[in-house]
Structure 1
Amino acid sequence: GGRTRAIATTAPAAAGPKRLRNDMGNKVTVVLGAQWGDEGKGKVVDLLATEADVVCRCQGGNNAGHTVVVDGKEYDFHLLPSGIINPKSISLIGNGVVIHLPGLFEEGDKNEKKGLKGWEKRLIVSDRAHIDTLKCEKALQAQEGKNIGTTKKGIGPAYSSKASRTGLRVCDLLGDFKDFSTRFKNLVHQYQSMYPSLTVDVEDQLKKLKEYAERLRPMVRDGVYYMYEALHGSPKKILVEGANAALLDIDFGTYPFVTSSNCTVGGACTGLGIPPLNIGDVFGVAKAYTTRVGIGAFPTEQLNAVGELLQTRGHEVGVTTGRKRRCGWLDLVIVRYAHMINGFTAIALTKLDILDVLDEIKVGVAYKLNGKRIPHFPANMDVLQKVEVEYETFPGWKTDTSAARKWNDLPAKAQNYIRFIENHIGVPIKWVGVGKSRECMIQMF
């Protein structure tokens, strides 16, 4: 036998092994829509992105539309995170996003002509993200989306393929192209068995995909490992930009008139690989009134002169679809419901200036059914169509607020309106927007 060597120890035997310290890493800031979308999330993200090291998209696709105005130039983003404007930050498209490759590069090139320089070097794409496969899924969406008011961008079919385990991911596209081609042909065959009139030039699509693959390759990283390093490595400020909004969430929205992803706070975890303990501030964004694109129940909608005024003054036209948005009074039932799901730590109230000319302003505070208040936001859309809205009425301030830059610049009646919203929801309002540009955001605290 060999020698036995004694190992000296300075710790008493009863102390046991040293325990590991669990370092949970940085906290992530999340920005989410609190209504039916189009609340001005891009503007809030742009404001916060000036201090961020990493800005992430976690779900949705190019059905999103975020407008950012910087130095008088208007940038439209659909797939790119709005933070791409900040030359000092990295933008990440996470695994929960479905990527339409032609749309991604068209968007980047279009904004580059407006002055967005070096965006490809600042963009990281998760290798686990699914591909919205070109015209094939757009054609499907055109057939499938006729009755639910979608953007017809192929988002629904892409998420359907993902759920049925026949979808194609970025890592597949950059792998063995022969294997990818076989799987792509199988996917097309699957679609054509469902929609016999669907025609796809498979070889042309594969040729284009191969070209896109080479342009995309330098941007692709393992998103899970990148996020882990960003959370646990050298301290980084991480910002997550939600697309769409709470009332369009596939689980919690006004189903079936919803998008195909989770655009509430859980989507930040599943769409980027972020543990719940790393979620810090969750900022909800709400307009000072309510808008909706497409069809579906809208209890506070104003099909009258008020609705037309809000639509005209607010330039309420969809960034992605070009459709006029339906407009109505602020509905605090839905904003409170969004807070219940997301746990907002603060709210950004946008487009207050649009209300400047009104003699009186109404706010929906409760729903009634058959004369009785209902305690919950109804899941059933037939019920939501029938509810009667209970309003609080406020005198208009009849003053131009667009030049306001601090709280005391706002007229007292506008301050009362804001405080009422804040108290009713039970969440502090951190910002008030009074115009398009970055400077037109009053920070409250």
Structure 2
Amino acid sequence: MAGVVVVGSQWGDEGKGKVTDYLAQQADLVVRYSGGNNAGHTIKFNGQKFALRLIPSGIFTTGEVVLGNGMVINPKALLEEMKYLNDAGIKTDKMHISDRAHVTLPYHIEIDELEEEMRGAASIGTTKKGIGPTYVDKYDRIGIRVGEFINEPLFKKRLEETLAFKKKQYPGLQCTAEEIFEEYKEYAKVIKPMVCDTGIFLDEAFQAKKKILFEGAQGTMLDIDYGTYPYVTSSNPGANGVPSGASIGPLYLTDVVGVIKAYTTRVGSGAFPTEIEGELGDYIRNAGNEFGTVTKRPRRIGWFDAVVVNQSRRMASLTGCSLMLLDVLSGLDTIKICTAYMLDGKEIHGLPSTIEELERVEPVYVELPGWKEDITNVTSFEELPVNAQNYIKKIEELIHCPVIMFSVGPDRTQTIVLKEVF
């Protein structure tokens, strides 16, 4: 029995798709446990690139995937993604959807757009996919869950009640219950055969000694509790979200792999202590193709931040890290790593709880010599230039966690594994 979790350990976009794709080849099934179609993974399969938003990466290997109860699922987006895969010859007939996951509907998207507009200069920078408003309804106990969605009379009743309530809160809402029902009841018919109690399904899989991979979306710095609040997502994307988001206990989890970039990126607003601006930031952005999978927004670039990754290690109980995009740093004379922050004259090694304080911290750096060699064809740690080896060793020392795999390019074959987890 093995339950391995893959989590982004910075602000998302670390390359989780590639790591989960690699590990999914050894797993019997792959589970997603949080978030919605606001997050994306890019997977290369049979020489073709695929951008996934809701469906776990395991769809390309065993095909056996689970969309857990901690997710918020836009049925229209899910069916579009299934068609996208089916048209490319990828089957989606082994998908299991939790009856307890919440459903994102058109009024959630409208509310997301309205709220961002109302915030003005204080906007959070959401993807406007309706994710936050869906989670709000979940905790306000007026959300519609998949089990209700696939029950046509119940869906109609719940939709009419909920939308009437939401229109009292947001008089500007344009959508109607009748329009939504007529469109979405057809989506429910397609989804219905895939719906089950995924908690029981996963428990039975574990009892049968199957290998299960849990695929996180986004990154731990976007965690609603531990991230850079309020510039965060609306769920727990780290390993701390697995038990509640997949309906299984923490003792099922044997390893947690944190995916980290050799530098740091984030999208949208919010404090970013190690941010690199100007020509160097542009160089790394273009070399790493740092543009959003879903939104195409240019990502902000920063030096590797050990304070951030240490916070992720603590909250996710990382047992190992996968260091991605090491090749992007090739050619730099020197490379910086942030080891601590200075706040009001005091050195600190954790993120302040308030965004106001985080915006005032000054990074403390250690500077290492870079390497000029092309490393995209190396197949082992020993083949790396000495300076690249030293860079990895320094990161391990600072984050108190071993690097168990590293990446020197986008292809599956450009991932060097130092220790297997399955």
TM-score computed with the length of structure 1 as normaliser: 0.91
The higher radius of gyration belongs to: 1
Residues in 2 aligned to 1:72 and 1:390: alpha-carbon distance in whole angstroms: 42
* Corresponding residue number in structure 2 for 1:6: none
Structure 1's 435 and 375: CA in aligned 2 closer, same or farther, altered over 3 A? closer
What does 1:24-43 align with in structure 2 at a 5 Å threshold?
26-43=1-18
Counterpart contact for 2:28–2:64, Cα < 8 Å: yes
Matched, 1:243 2:213: no
* Corresponding residue number in structure 1 for 2:411: 437
Offset from partner CA, 1:17-48 (integer Å, 9 cap, x none): xxxxxxxxx33100001000000011000000
Counterpart contact for 1:353–1:434, Cα < 8 Å: yes
Counterpart contact for 1:70–1:437, Cα < 8 Å: no
Counterpart contact for 2:308–2:350, Cα < 8 Å: no
* Corresponding residue number in structure 2 for 1:73: 48
Counterpart contact for 2:307–2:349, Cα < 8 Å: no
Q: Which amino acid aligns with 2:226?
A: F
Residues in 1 aligned to 2:88 and 2:339: alpha-carbon distance in whole angstroms: 43
Residues in 2 aligned to 1:318 and 1:110: alpha-carbon distance in whole angstroms: 19
Counterpart contact for 1:127–1:223, Cα < 8 Å: yes
User: Which of 79, 102, 115 matches 2:76?
Assistant: 102
User: Which of 155, 158, 179 matches 2:131?
Assistant: 155
* Corresponding residue number in structure 1 for 2:142: 166
Residues in 1 aligned to 2:116 and 2:3: alpha-carbon distance in whole angstroms: 34
* Corresponding residue number in structure 2 for 1:323: 297
Q: Which amino acid aligns with 2:64?
A: I
Worse-matched range after superposition: 326-335 or 189-198? 189-198
* Corresponding residue number in structure 2 for 1:128: 100
Q: Which amino acid aligns with 1:159?
A: Y
Q: Which amino acid aligns with 2:309?
A: V
Deviation at 1:89, TM superposition (A): 4.2
Q: Which amino acid aligns with 1:165?
A: R
Aligned residues: 414
Residues in 2 aligned to 1:372 and 1:95: alpha-carbon distance in whole angstroms: 43
Q: Which amino acid aligns with 1:143?
A: L
Offset from partner CA, 1:120-165 (integer Å, 9 cap, x none): x1111011111011x2111111122350011111000100010011
Counterpart contact for 2:76–2:184, Cα < 8 Å: no
Residue ranges of structure 1 left out of the alignment (5+ in a row) = 1-25
User: Which of 338, 341, 347 matches 2:321?
Assistant: 347
Residues in 1 aligned to 2:399 and 2:135: alpha-carbon distance in whole angstroms: 33
* Corresponding residue number in structure 2 for 1:268: 242
Deviant stretches of 4+, over 3 Å: none
What does 1:385-404 align with in structure 2 at a 5 Å threshold?
385-404=359-378
Q: Which amino acid aligns with 1:131?
A: V
Residues in 2 aligned to 1:219 and 1:178: alpha-carbon distance in whole angstroms: 19
Matched, 1:258 2:232: yes
User: Which of 302, 307, 319 matches 2:281?
Assistant: 307
Deviation at 1:179, TM superposition (A): 2.7
Matched, 1:49 2:24: yes
* Corresponding residue number in structure 1 for 2:120: none
* Corresponding residue number in structure 1 for 2:115: 144
Offset from partner CA, 1:297-345 (integer Å, 9 cap, x none): 0000011211111111111111111111000111111001110111100
User: Which of 412, 415, 420 matches 2:389?
Assistant: 415
Deviation at 1:277, TM superposition (A): 1.0
Worse-matched range after superposition: 393-402 or 369-378? 369-378
Residues in 2 aligned to 1:190 and 1:405: alpha-carbon distance in whole angstroms: 59
Counterpart contact for 2:265–2:301, Cα < 8 Å: yes
Residues in 1 aligned to 2:112 and 2:140: alpha-carbon distance in whole angstroms: 17
SS at match of 1:145: helix
Q: Which amino acid aligns with 1:331?
A: D
Offset from partner CA, 1:44-68 (integer Å, 9 cap, x none): 0000000111100001000111001
Residues in 2 aligned to 1:390 and 1:376: alpha-carbon distance in whole angstroms: 12
SS at match of 1:386: coil
Q: Which amino acid aligns with 1:39?
A: E
Residues in 2 aligned to 1:69 and 1:245: alpha-carbon distance in whole angstroms: 21
* Root-mean-square deviation over aligned CA pairs: 1.1
Matched, 1:202 2:174: no
Residues in 1 aligned to 2:330 and 2:233: alpha-carbon distance in whole angstroms: 32
Residues in 1 aligned to 2:350 and 2:305: alpha-carbon distance in whole angstroms: 14
Residue ranges of structure 2 left out of the alignment (5+ in a row) = 118-122
* Corresponding residue number in structure 1 for 2:58: 83
Q: Which amino acid aligns with 2:138?
A: K
Counterpart contact for 2:148–2:155, Cα < 8 Å: yes
Offset from partner CA, 1:260-307 (integer Å, 9 cap, x none): 001121211001111111111000000000000000000000112111
> What percentage of residue pairs aligned between the two structures are identical?
43
TM-score computed with the length of structure 2 as normaliser: 0.96
Counterpart contact for 1:33–1:41, Cα < 8 Å: yes
Deviation at 1:70, TM superposition (A): 2.0
Residues in 2 aligned to 1:112 and 1:285: alpha-carbon distance in whole angstroms: 29
Counterpart contact for 1:75–1:114, Cα < 8 Å: no
Counterpart contact for 1:316–1:324, Cα < 8 Å: yes
Residues in 1 aligned to 2:129 and 2:244: alpha-carbon distance in whole angstroms: 22
Residues in 1 aligned to 2:20 and 2:392: alpha-carbon distance in whole angstroms: 21
Counterpart contact for 2:240–2:315, Cα < 8 Å: no
